[in-house]
C-alpha cells in the first residue's frame, strides 16, 4: 500500500508540475518533460516542445537554456493557436555533413506562423566549412542545394531579434512570402571566403524591416529578389561581403515587380560592392524595379560604392548583347560618403533597350587614394539628376 501511495504521489506531483509548465507557457527543452541534455542532439526534444507550445491556447515560449547542443534539423510549422516565442540562449550546432539532413536545402525552418518571436542572444551554428569546399555555386548555375541556416516561409507579424547566424553552409537567412516581419539586432558571421553565404535574402515579401544588423559574410550582406515591396534596411553594418544588393533580377520568367526599397544609415567596410541594383541581360520577360532609395551611407574602402549593373552576367552564361528587359525607375543615391577601393566609384550602366528613368545623385562625396588612375564615374543609358556631386563622380563618362 505504501508503495502504491508513493507511486500515486509521484504521479500527482508530475501532473502538477506539467500543469504548472503549461499554465506558465514556458516549454523548456531541458525539463524532464522533453529531456534535452547539454552536448547531445536535441532534435526530438525541440520538436516535441514546439508541438506542445504551438497547441497552447495562450502565449507560449519554447526555451533553450545556455550551453551547446547538437541539432540535426528543425521544422517549426504553424499555424499556432496563439502568439509563440522561441528563446534560444545557447548555441545550436548543425551537422558538419549536410548529407545528414532529410531536407538538404534547410537546417532550421519556420513556416506558416503568425506572431512569432525569436530571441535570446543564442547562436545558430551551421558548421559550414566543409560545405564551402564542396560548393561550386559561384561557377555552376545548376549546383546542388545546400542547407540554409534559417528559412522563413509565409511568416507574418513577427520579430526576430538578438540572435546570431554563424557559418551557414549556404544563405544564412532566407525570407519567402513573408509579411510584416522585423529582424532586429541580428548578427551574421562567416569568413569572407565562404561561398554563396548571403546574410539575409528576401523574396516575394512585403513589409520586411532589417534594423541594427551586423553582417560579415562571403556574399551579399542583404540581397533583395523579385516580388518584394516596402523593404527597409536601416543601420546595418556590412563587411566583409558583396554589399547590399537589389537583384539579381530578370533571370527567370514571370518575375514580380520590386517596389519600395529603402536603405538608410548603413556602413559598408571592405566589401566588393556598396549599394547596387543588378539585372541580367537577355531577360526572358519584362520586369519592373522602382522606388528604390539609398540614403546616408558610409563607404570604407569599398570596391564599387554605387552601382547599377544591367549587364550582370556571372559565369558568362547569358547573351550580353541582348538588353535587359527590367525597367529601372525612380532611384536615388543621397548623402553617400567615404572611400572607394577602385577609381571607378560610381557606375550606372542601364539597359540599352529600356533606359533607366528618374535617377538622382545627391551629395555624393567619395575619395580614392590608390594608384590605378584618377577618381571617376561612368553612366550609360541614363540621364540622372545630379546635385552637389564633384565632377569626377557626376557621370564623367557617359553613353
Q: What is the pLDDT of residues 74-96, one digit of tens each?
A: 999 999 999 999 999 999 999 99
- pLDDT value at position 20? 37
- pLDDT value at position 293? 98
- pLDDT value at position 138? 64
What count of other Cβ atoms lies within 10 Å of the Cβ of residue 242? 24
Would you say residue 277 has pLDDT above 90?
Answer: yes
Burial of 165 per CB tally in 10 Å (0-12, 13-18, 19+): buried
- pLDDT value at position 14? 41
What count of other Cβ atoms lies within 10 Å of the Cβ of residue 111? 17
DSSP code for 383? -
> What average pLDDT does range 367-386 have in this prediction?
97
Confidence of residue 22 (pLDDT cuts 50, 70, 90): very low
Q: Which residues are catalytic?
A: 242
Confidence of residue 314 (pLDDT cuts 50, 70, 90): confident
Q: Which residue has the higher pLDDT, 34 or 3?
A: 34
Cα distance between residue 1 and residue 296, in whole Å: 78
Cα distance between residue 308 and residue 359, in whole Å: 10
> What average pLDDT does range 363-384 have in this prediction?
97
Cα distance between residue 242 and residue 193, in whole Å: 11
List phi, psi (to 5°) of 234: -130, 135
Confidence of residue 6 (pLDDT cuts 50, 70, 90): very low
pTM over 0.85: yes
In the chain the domains, ranked by start, together with CATH numbers, are 25-133+146-398 (2.160.20.10)
Q: What is the pLDDT of residues 172-198, one digit of tens each?
A: 999 999 999 999 999 999 999 999 999
Confidence of residue 9 (pLDDT cuts 50, 70, 90): very low
Cα distance between residue 87 and residue 108, in whole Å: 14
User: Under 8 Å CB-to-CB from 336, ≥6 apart: which residues?
Assistant: 274, 275, 294, 296, 297, 298, 299, 305, 306, 363, 364, 365, 366
Confidence of residue 351 (pLDDT cuts 50, 70, 90): very high
Would you say residue 316 has pLDDT above 80?
Answer: no
- pLDDT value at position 19? 40
- pLDDT value at position 321? 80
Would you say residue 110 has pLDDT above 70?
Answer: yes
Amino acid at each position: 500500500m505504501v508503495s502504491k501511495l508513493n507511486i500515486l504521489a509521484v504521479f500527482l506531483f508530475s501532473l502538477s508540475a506539467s500543469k504548472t509548465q503549461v499554465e506558465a507557457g514556458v516549454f523548456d527543452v531541458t525539463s524532464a518533460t522533453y529531456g534535452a541534455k547539454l552536448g547531445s542532439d536535441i532534435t526530438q526534444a525541440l520538436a516535441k516542445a514546439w508541438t506542445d507550445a504551438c497547441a497552447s491556447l495562450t502565449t507560449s515560449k519554447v526555451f533553450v537554456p545556455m550551453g551547446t547542443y547538437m541539432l540535426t534539423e528543425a521544422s517549426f510549422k504553424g499555424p499556432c493557436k496563439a502568439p509563440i516565442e522561441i528563446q534560444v540562449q545557447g548555441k545550436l550546432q548543425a551537422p558538419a555533413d549536410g548529407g545528414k539532413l532529410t531536407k538538404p536545402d534547410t537546417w532550421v525552418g519556420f513556416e506558416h506562423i503568425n506572431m512569432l518571436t525569436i530571441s535570446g542572444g543564442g547562436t545558430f551554428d551551421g558548421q559550414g566549412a566543409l560545405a564551402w569546399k564542396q560548393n561550386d555555386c559561384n561557377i555552376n548555375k545548376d549546383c546542388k542545394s545546400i542547407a540554409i541556416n534559417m528559412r522563413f516561409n509565409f511568416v507574418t507579424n513577427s520579430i526576430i531579434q538578438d540572435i546570431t547566424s554563424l557559418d551557414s553552409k549556404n544563405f544564412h537567412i532566407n525570407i519567402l512570402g513573408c509579411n510584416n516581419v522585423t529582424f532586429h539586432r541580428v548578427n551574421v558571421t562567416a569568413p569572407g571566403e565562404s561561398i554563396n553565404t548571403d546574410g539575409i535574402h528576401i523574396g516575394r515579401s512585403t513589409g520586411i524591416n532589417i534594423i541594427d544588423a551586423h553582417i560579415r559574410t562571403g556574399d551579399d550582406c542583404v540581397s533583395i529578389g523579385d516580388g518584394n515591396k516596402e523593404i527597409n534596411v536601416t543601420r546595418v553594418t556590412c563587411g566583409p561581403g558583396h554589399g547590399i544588393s537589389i537583384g539579381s533580377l530578370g533571370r527567370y520568367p514571370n518575375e514580380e515587380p520590386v517596389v519600395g526599397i529603402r536603405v538608410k544609415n548603413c556602413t559598408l567596410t571592405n566589401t566588393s560592392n556598396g549599394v547596387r541594383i543588378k539585372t541580367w541581360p537577355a531577360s526572358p520577360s519584362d520586369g519592373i524595379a522602382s522606388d528604390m532609395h539609398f540614403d546616408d551611407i558610409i563607404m570604407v574602402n569599398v570596391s564599387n560604392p554605387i552601382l547599377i549593373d544591367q549587364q550582370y552576367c556571372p559565369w558568362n552564361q547569358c547573351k550580353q548583347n541582348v538588353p535587359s528587359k527590367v525597367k529601372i525607375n525612380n532611384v536615388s543615391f543621397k548623402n553617400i560618403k567615404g572611400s572607394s577601393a577602385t577609381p571607378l566609384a560610381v557606375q550606372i550602366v542601364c539597359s540599352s533597350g529600356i533606359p533607366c528613368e528618374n535617377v538622382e545623385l545627391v551629395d555624393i562625396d567619395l575619395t580614392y587614394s590608390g594608384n590605378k588612375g584618377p577618381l571617376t564615374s561612368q553612366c550609360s543609358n541614363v540621364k540622372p539628376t545630379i546635385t552637389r556631386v564633384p565632377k569626377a563622380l557626376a557621370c564623367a563618362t557617359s553613353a
